[in-house]
Structure 1
């Protein structure tokens, strides 16, 4: 099911204020962030939007700003999480504006691979404080710290993501094997069918193969890119088809 654009939770991100190009401070020293001013607006797909690019290109910075502006904790979690381990998020959210759809999601979550440990710790702390119901029931019934990194990611997707939701995921493949990435892809499709929207920063050629999606490559501005034209697809395909040749080329470069 492909939703109509007006029916999605986040439609567009646009600039509210002009960027001060004289500053060299993070995040305004990242080319992709500076490029947003010229772009003016970035439209999101009703189902899945992928943001791709090299390490350091600004993917996580952009997703963080979108999440913070929407009301999420900068370190991740649901909108009810308000813990702070270290205040390192950028001020980019102050320079952007979100154009939302006419409906609000019933569920939402911001997943950051780099700070997921802190989210799991906060869940355990809240569980110890007690309440009317066990918080861990929403995460598979046991502490995320008692599971491997990959198992805890999948427990989150399978149990905590309830559908009719907005899910912002920053490199969710970080802890997942290829087979688990396929399982996550299946779960994403189930949730899209259940009226959910995803915004995902990723390096995974498996995840970005999802068909009902748009891919933005931010290495050279913000370019909408076909899956088969991404470096992730082409490099992976070339390596799998000709591993010996690719290894020989790589090792020769080191000489």
Structure 2
């Protein structure tokens, strides 16, 4: 299991350029993982996906998406922070997968070139709907005794299929580890998960009910008319200024 991560700031020179200018560089030195299921939450640009990608790089996974044996290239998929983190394990896990929603199409094309569909439901991922292809990956490629890094897996999943993913996580969590960057209040509701907020300073663990994802969604569902009134009236005021 991955127990901790350390940012190697002593190796960094230029803190004004990406990725060293990301908020996470100032907000953390290390991170401990206390659970088999951990979620990264935060606004776009907070660095959660970049850190997840760096973990994938240190695990030896293809940072365009895939495992150790998936060799293909996607432009702009290099792990910018990969050489500046150190992972501590107990015990070391050598199998797993890095799932990137934004480059999943390229991963599916890579699998087509290989012509190996046993681990993906027996047919091309391109011949399945977007949501079906995601679930085929989760159901058939994910096994026990692995570490699974998921970057916004909810991107193609309906609410019902997000619940299906939670069941898959539950079935594997006894022997595997999941680290997931997400904006989904459904996924974040996984029982007893560790949730790490990249918006807090310093970056730290947060309760589910304290996340913006939960609070905004709850406020919207309980009184969406008031939310719209506040949102639209504020927008009108801004336009008049």
Q: Normalised by the size of structure 1, how large is the TM-score?
A: 0.88
Name 2:91's counterpart in structure 1. 102
Paired residues of 2:64 and 2:77 also in contact (CA < 8 A): no
Equivalents in 2 of 1:45, 1:181: separation in Å?
23
Matches within 5 A, 1:104-253: 104-105=93-94, 107-127=95-115, 135-193=116-174, 195-220=175-200, 221-253=202-234
Unaligned runs of at least 5 residues, structure 2 = 237-241
Distance 1:21 1:236, change over 3 A: farther
Instruction: Tell me whether 90-99 or 200-209 shows the greater mean CA deviation.
Output: 90-99
- Over the residues paired in the alignment, what is the CA RMSD in angstroms? 1.5
Equivalents in 1 of 2:15, 2:206: separation in Å?
30
Is it true that 1:85 corresponds to 2:77 in the alignment?
no
Equivalents in 1 of 2:207, 2:96: separation in Å?
28
Instruction: Tell me whether 165-174 or 10-19 shows the greater mean CA deviation.
Output: 10-19
Is it true that 1:62 corresponds to 2:43 in the alignment?
no
Equivalents in 2 of 1:10, 1:210: separation in Å?
19
Displacement of 1:101 after TM fit? 1.3
Q: Normalised by the size of structure 2, how large is the TM-score?
A: 0.93
**Deviations, residues 14-66 of structure 1 (Å, cap 9, x unaligned):** 13342646442111111113323xxx320113311111001111111000011
Unaligned runs of at least 5 residues, structure 1 = 1-8, 128-134
Equivalents in 1 of 2:205, 2:13: separation in Å?
25
Is it true that 1:31 corresponds to 2:23 in the alignment?
yes
How many residues in Structure 1 have an aligned counterpart in Structure 2? 235
Dislocated runs of 4+, deviation >6 Å: none
Equivalents in 1 of 2:13, 2:69: separation in Å?
35
